[in-house]
């Protein structure tokens, strides 16, 4: 899929052909012969408009919305969903192989066995740690992917890879690509929403929901974790009502006149659209984020009655309400380095799991009972995993590992069960590896999109989420 029409593509070919004149008389002769046989197409001088109206994908979609719970920092796979018994057998002994450390200064070659027990659950016998008791209740709706791989061992670069397709800053985020391709079903809420943690932004901050070089219409809108959820949404009392309406009508008239005199300025179009959306959100956003409209039973299911789970539970419940109202993509972030357990993992990992386990499981259950899970992809995971050896012997933790880590997905056409495997120590993905670009290609396929054809021309180059990488749709992940 592309927003460039055939005339633009033809004019590009004509420009390249014309540039060949600099190559000398032979090129000029070839060009003249070509012109004699066919009249070249005139360049397209019109402007290309962008909007958030719902668009039909080229393929039949199975998913129409997505909720991503991004666990920034790197959850430890061998302690949560990828048990490795040999680590406990070799606990505190020297690792019998090679390790790719990220922090060599604090590195240790001593194996660290998992302190937590595992059991098998569901029809597929999915292994789940005792730290995730609520996840064990939804394993038959989830697919645990144990063979994720980015191969870039720093947080920022791996986040960019998982969320933007390449380990480079400044690229459009996944939510921007989906809304660029498909628009939204909602006329009164943003198409793409980011929900941040009250204790801080993730690594890379606002770049996590950046539109990159796509028009700013496709940038994520932040909903805050505390009230007011959206700042400056309501006017002050003395400007409310007819006064505000008249002001906005005048402002829009001036903005449109300004934009008409500057054709091709997509940022102006995006601003006008955002102003119009902001006005509609005055009536819809408060309703969508008002959890008092939900039952006590729903509050309890998401853990809103417990201190440890309340905050994340509120965000998960709001995410369900947003998708229910037509929002295309919602992403929830944990705070900066929340899962980055270089030290103190024995205490810190259980606390991290306690915060998210019940709300995340409730989200899947709630979507399913409302008939929304089949069309909504739910994602849980971070940008990396952890190593099988000790880091920081004085305060035991685990270092970064992007060569084989775990995440899970549910709904939207993904199957349930387990996929892929790491080696016996949980270091490298060795079976059915899923690179970040394969995951993106598969995800876009479920939305009815072809990864190689979802493009945007930027500085004369066709850009895409997969950006020329050898991405493939992994059929084994699909139901």
The 10s digit of each residue's pLDDT in 241-291 is 666 666 566 777 777 777 666 666 666 666 666 666 665 666 678 899 999
Tell me the pLDDT band of 104, cut-offs 50, 70 and 90: confident
- Residue 160, pLDDT score: 98
Structure confidence at residue 441 (pLDDT)? 98
pLDDT number for residue 228: 84
From residue 26, how far is each of 14, 29, 33, 35, 37 by CA, in Å? Answer: 17, 5, 11, 14, 17
Q: Please provide the average confidence, as pLDDT, over all residues in the chain.
A: 87
Please report which confidence band the pLDDT of residue 187 belongs to, taking 50, 70 and 90 as the band edges. confident
Please state the pTM of the whole predicted model.
0.84
C-alpha distance from residue 15 to each of 23, 42, 461 (Å): 14, 10, 14
Q: Which of 264-278, 351-365, 438-452 has the lowest mean pLDDT?
A: 264-278
Residue 87's pLDDT is: 98
Of 9-18, 122-131, 237-246, the range with the lowest mean pLDDT is 9-18
Distance CA 227, CA 286 (A): 10
Number of residues that this document lists for the chain: 479
Lowest mean pLDDT segment, chosen from 89-98, 199-208, 257-266, 360-369: 257-266
Q: What is the pLDDT of residue 266?
A: 63
Q: How far from 186 is each of 323, 377, 391, CA to CA, in Å?
A: 9, 18, 48
Distance of alpha carbon 386 from alpha carbon 77, whole angstroms: 7
What one-character DSSP code corresponds to residue 229?
S
Q: What would the two tokens of residue 206 be? A: 């606002």
Give whole-number Cα distances, 437 to 71, 449, 467, in Å. Answer: 19, 14, 9
Find all residues with CB under 8 Å of 197, minimum gap 6, and list them.
Answer: 225, 311, 333, 334, 335, 338
Closest CA to 474 of 389, 415, 403: 415
Element (H, E) at 111: strand 107-111
Packing angle of the helix pair 25-37, 6-19 (nearest 10 deg): 140
The rounded Cα 34 to chain-centroid distance in angstroms is: 47
């Amino acid at each position: 899929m592309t927003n460039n029409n055939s005339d633009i593509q033809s004019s590009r070919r004509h420009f390249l052909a014309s540039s060949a004149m600099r190559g000398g008389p032979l090129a000029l002769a070839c060009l003249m012969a070509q012109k004699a046989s066919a009249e070249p197409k005139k360049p397209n001088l019109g402007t290309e408009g962008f909007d958030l109206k719902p668009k039909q994908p080229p393929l039949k979609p199975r998913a129409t919305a997505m909720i991503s719970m991004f666990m920034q920092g790197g959850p430890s796979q061998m302690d949560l969903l990828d048990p490795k018994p040999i680590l406990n057998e070799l606990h505190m002994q020297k690792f019998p192989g090679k390790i790719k450390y990220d922090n060599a200064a604090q590195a240790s070659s001593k194996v660290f066995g998992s302190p937590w027990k595992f059991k098998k659950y569901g029809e597929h016998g999915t292994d789940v740690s005792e730290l995730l008791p609520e996840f064990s209740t939804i394993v038959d709706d989830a697919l645990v992917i144990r063979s994720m791989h980015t191969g870039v061992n720093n947080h920022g670069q791996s986040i960019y890879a998982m969320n933007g397709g390449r380990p480079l800053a400044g690229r459009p985020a996944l939510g921007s690509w989906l809304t660029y391709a498909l628009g939204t079903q909602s006329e009164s809420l943003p198409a793409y929403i980011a929900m941040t943690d009250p204790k801080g932004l993730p690594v890379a901050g606002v770049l996590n929901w950046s539109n990159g070089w796509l028009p700013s219409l496709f940038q994520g809108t932040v909903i805050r974790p505390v009230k007011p959820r959206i700042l400056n949404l309501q006017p002050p009392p003395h400007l409310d009502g007819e006064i505000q309406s008249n002001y906005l009508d005048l402002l829009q008239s001036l903005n449109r006149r300004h934009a008409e005199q500057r054709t091709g300025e997509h940022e102006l179009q995006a601003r006008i659209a955002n102003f119009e959306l902001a006005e509609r959100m005055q009536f819809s956003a408060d309703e969508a984020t008002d959890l008092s409209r939900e039952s006590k039973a729903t509050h309890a299911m998401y853990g809103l009655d417990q201190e440890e789970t309340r905050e994340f539970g509120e965000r998960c419940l709001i995410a369900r309400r947003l998708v229910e109202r037509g929002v295309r993509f919602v992403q929830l972030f944990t705070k900066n380095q929340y899962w980055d357990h270089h030290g103190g993992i024995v205490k810190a990992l259980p606390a991290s799991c306690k915060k998210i386990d019940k709300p995340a499981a409730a989200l899947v259950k709630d979507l399913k009972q409302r008939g929304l899970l089949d069309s909504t992809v739910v994602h849980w995971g971070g940008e990396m995993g952890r190593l099988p050896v000790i880091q920081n012997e004085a305060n035991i933790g685990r270092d970064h590992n992007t060569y084989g880590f775990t995440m899970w997905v549910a709904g939207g056409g993904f199957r349930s069960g387990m996929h892929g495997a790491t080696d016996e120590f949980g270091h490298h993905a060795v079976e059915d590896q899923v690179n970040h670009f394969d995951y993106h290609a598969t995800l876009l396929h479920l939305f009815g999109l072809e990864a190689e054809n979802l493009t945007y021309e930027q500085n004369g180059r066709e850009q895409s989420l997969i950006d020329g990488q050898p991405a493939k749709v992994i059929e084994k992940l699909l139901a």
